[in-house]
Amino acid sequence: MSAIAGTASRGQARRRRIDGWRWSGRIFLVFILLYTALPMIWMLITSIKSGFAAMQFPPQWWPDQPTLASYQKLLDPQNSVGQDFLRFFWNSLFVSTATTILSVIVAVPAAYAFSRFTFPGRNFLFFAVLLRNMFPAVIFLVPLFILMRAIGLVNTHGSLILTYLTFGLPLAIWLLKGFYDNIPVQLEQAARIDGATRFQAFVLIVMPLSAPGIIATAIYSFIGAWNEYIYAYTFLSKNEQLTLPVGIQRFFSENTTDFPGLMAASFMMSVPVVVLFLVLQRYFVRALTEGAVKH
Amino acid sequence: MAHVVLKDLVKTYGSFKAVNNVSLTVNDGEFVALVGPSGCGKTTTLNLVAGLIPITSGDIVIGDRVVNDLDPKDRDIAMVFQNYALYPQKSVYKNLAFPLQMRRLPKEEIDRKVREAARVLDMTELLERKPRELSGGQQQRVALGRALVRDPSVFLMDEPLSNLDAKLRVQMRSEIKRFHQDLKATIIYVTHDQLEAVTMADRMAVMNGGYLQQYDSPAQVFAHPVNMFVASFVGSPAMSLVPLEASTANGKSVLTSAEGWSLELSPHNAQKVAKAKTRKIVLGARHSTIKLHKSAVPGSIPAKAYTVEPTGDVTFVQAFLSGALVNISMPPTIAVAPDEQIWLEFDQERMHLFDGETEMALKAH
């Protein structure tokens, strides 16, 4: 009897211990959630306050008179603020989309080559590609500025696109190579025997299989370019060229800070990223796990 | 269908020769197995025929064309891979249709051929499934179907059965054999399993270290292995090889062991030994040609049983002889215990003798 009771209580103890871990895990997750979500919520709440309400102390936790005036102002092409905002938005969209497309166009064949072909200097090149990631991006600010000036790209969107590619491509290539490594070479061989050229085998068989990786690469490039501030701030000086992160900064500096306007702009800036992520997150997670773990 | 000729085929990777001057002819409608241990160059040879890797030198002829520089797609071949290489994103139907689409056949003809292949291989109900929803045997069948649907001049198969479990492997073995008989297809089949080669192939090409060792019918390879490698590779359990020394005693040719015993040779075998350039002779005997006695009989050799493995029909006994492990099969009615003293009698008619230095089989003339 006592032996059985002993086992039972030990079993319970074990279960309690597991529960303890589980609960501390949950508490940790809740903490992380609050940490990431609260600023977003506060941003949203502030964006629908009036300028006066936003500055009140103690703060209004929920605005007495919620208003969409900031959004209307930002999205109205008739007034100068709206014109600026829409232009910055368009600039950001252009730079980010171009970066994304170019990044996929370069990363897909590069990763495939690294994965499938042996050529002189293959390992050296591959690690050279990763070498960039050892250094903080800001280290390259001055050299790249000098370089861009030398080739006459300062004050063009091209300078940003090139820079973002420099930073985005290493991880993109590395991520995609992991994908191609996991696609059996026999699939391509089968396709080539079945009547496809090497290129057709790649496009018809391998590319669809690496779609999650390509999508993840694209999201990664897009978000990187969309959020980037310091290079955009340094390389561009003309008002009509600015991207959103730099453009939004103007809401700070002119006269008094328009906090609801700033928050509304920030919120709208985060919309494309959130939408992109929600739609494609399934692929993103698959890409990061499969590329790394699956054999 | 077509015949295939390999002439002095060589493939090198840097200084490593993966395939060394391999020459062989596969007749129209013949089933040839390339067999050998891993790394012997058999898969490389197959990939050379397929055109998946470029040849270093030599010629490959399929039908009447030299195909050395042709792309795989232009060689009119079909291939079944070890891992089946089914396109995971495509349904079975689309897997089968892919080679036909690549050849730009009209839609109705593709549909007709796919359904015909599915009917032949008894998988019509699987057409809409994805490869991952199929069992190993079904995937194997789809892979066969994808090769079949094209009606190619040569089928290349790279270890198609090795990913299947033992029972299914035996079943698919007969199916592939049936497939060959029905289609009268030219098949080059790579396997590391000598049993598959022996049971299925019209002729088998035994390879080792990139060299073709012997190319003949399984019966011939089994009965007359050209060297010690082929002798020990083909047949299960493996042929026992006992290193001995040739000498004469009382005017008769004998093989003597360092253990002290000697074996008197028949006139035929004595003739073979006389041709050898060395005194070092290796005696080869298959398990079924060695008779086990529990007491000494004339011409028998003393040995000690090492392991005893009853399998039901026969019992396999292993014994040490002159430092080599010898396999003997005997009826289960005889009881032998490990470490028991036994006597072995060799069948002189079915005994193999090899040159101990060149490892080549000795011939009487």
CA A24 to chain centre: 30
Q: CA distances (Å), A163 to each of A57, A91, A108, A249, B184, in order?
A: 43, 16, 19, 21, 62
- What is the distance between the alpha carbons of residues A216 and A224, in angstroms, rounded to a whole number? 12
Residue A200 at interface with chain B, using a CB cutoff of 8 Å: yes
Report pLDDT for A255: 59
Residue A197 at interface with chain B, using a CB cutoff of 8 Å: yes
Q: Give the best residue of B89, B90, B114, B163 to mutate against chain A (max A CB count within 10 A).
A: B89
Give B44 to chain A, closest Cα distance, Å: 13
Give A180 to chain B, closest Cα distance, Å: 14
Report pLDDT for A57: 78
The domains of chain A are located at 2-47, 79-293
Could you read off the pLDDT of B101-112 as tens digits, one per residue? 999 999 999 999
Complete domains list, chain B, with CATH: 4-225 (3.40.50.300), 240-355 (2.40.50.140)
- What is the distance between the alpha carbons of residues B147 and B155, in angstroms, rounded to a whole number? 7
Task: Name the residue facing A205 among B71, B87, B150 (closest C-beta).
Answer: B87
Could you read off the pLDDT of B61-101 as tens digits, one per residue? 999 899 999 999 999 999 999 989 999 889 999 999 999 99
Q: Which of B79, B200, B49, B202 is nearest to B148 (CA)?
A: B79
With CA atoms as reference, the chain A residue closest to B97 would be A194
- What is the distance between the alpha carbons of residues B34 and B36, in angstroms, rounded to a whole number? 7
Helix (H) or strand (E) holding A160, with range, is helix A157-182
Q: Which of B58, B271, B26 is nearest to B157 (CA)?
A: B26
- What is the distance between the alpha carbons of residues B7 and B58, in angstroms, rounded to a whole number? 6
Our CA dihedral for A148, A152, A156, A158, rounded to 10 degrees, sits at -60
Residue A182 at interface with chain B, using a CB cutoff of 8 Å: no
Could you read off the pLDDT of A245-274 as tens digits, one per residue? 888 887 666 556 778 888 888 899 988 888
Could you read off the pLDDT of B113-137 as tens digits, one per residue? 999 989 888 889 999 999 988 988 8
| Whether pLDDT at A133 is above 80 | no
Q: Decide: B203 and B248 in contact? Cβ < 8 Å.
A: no
Burial class (CB in 10 A: 0-12, 13-18, 19+), A70: buried
Q: Which of A120, A107, A229, A123 is nearest to A172 (CA)?
A: A107
- What is the distance between the alpha carbons of residues A208 and A210, in angstroms, rounded to a whole number? 5
- CB within 8 Å: B85 and A195: no
Q: For residue B124, what are its two tokens?
A: 């019509």
With CA atoms as reference, the chain A residue closest to B72 would be A193
Could you read off the pLDDT of A72-128 as tens digits, one per residue? 888 888 888 888 888 999 999 999 999 999 999 999 999 999 999 888 888 888 888
Report pLDDT for A75: 86
Q: For residue A147, what are its two tokens?
A: 């370089």
Per-residue pLDDT band at B283 (split at 50, 70, 90): very high
DSSP collapsed to 3 states, B313-329:
CCEEEEEEECCEEEEEE
Q: Where is average pLDDT lowest: A122-136, A228-242, B159-173?
A: A122-136
Can you give the length of chain B in residues?
Answer: 365
Give B233 to chain A, closest Cα distance, Å: 28
Q: For residue B88, what are its two tokens?
A: 């995971």
CA quadruple A186, A191, A195, A197: dihedral sign? negative
Average pLDDT, chain A: 84
Strand-pair category, B240-249 with B324-330:
unpaired
CA quadruple B221, B158, B67, A119: dihedral sign? negative
| Whether pLDDT at A5 is above 60 | no
With CA atoms as reference, the chain B residue closest to A211 would be B89
Bridge partners (DSSP) of residue B19 are: B11
- CB within 8 Å: B88 and A209: yes
Average pLDDT, chain B: 92
- The set of residues, in sequence order, having a beta carbon less than 8 Å from that of B84 and lying 6+ positions away, is B131, B139, B140, B142, B143, B160, B163
Q: Decide: B271 and B358 in contact? Cβ < 8 Å.
A: no
Give A267 to chain B, closest Cα distance, Å: 39
CATH entry 1.10.3720.10 includes domain A79-293: yes
Report pLDDT for A291: 47
Report pLDDT for B175: 87
The rounded percent of chain B whose pLDDT value lies above 70 is: 100
Per-residue pLDDT band at A293 (split at 50, 70, 90): very low
Q: State the average pLDDT over residues B241-253.
A: 89
Q: Decide: B336 and B342 in contact? Cβ < 8 Å.
A: yes
Q: State the average pLDDT over residues A184-188.
A: 91
Q: For residue B59, what are its two tokens?
A: 């010629």
Residue type, A270: S
| Whether pLDDT at B280 is above 90 | yes
With CA atoms as reference, the chain B residue closest to A185 would be B85
Could you read off the pLDDT of B187-229 as tens digits, one per residue? 999 999 999 999 999 999 999 999 999 999 999 999 999 999 9
Per-residue pLDDT band at A62 (split at 50, 70, 90): confident
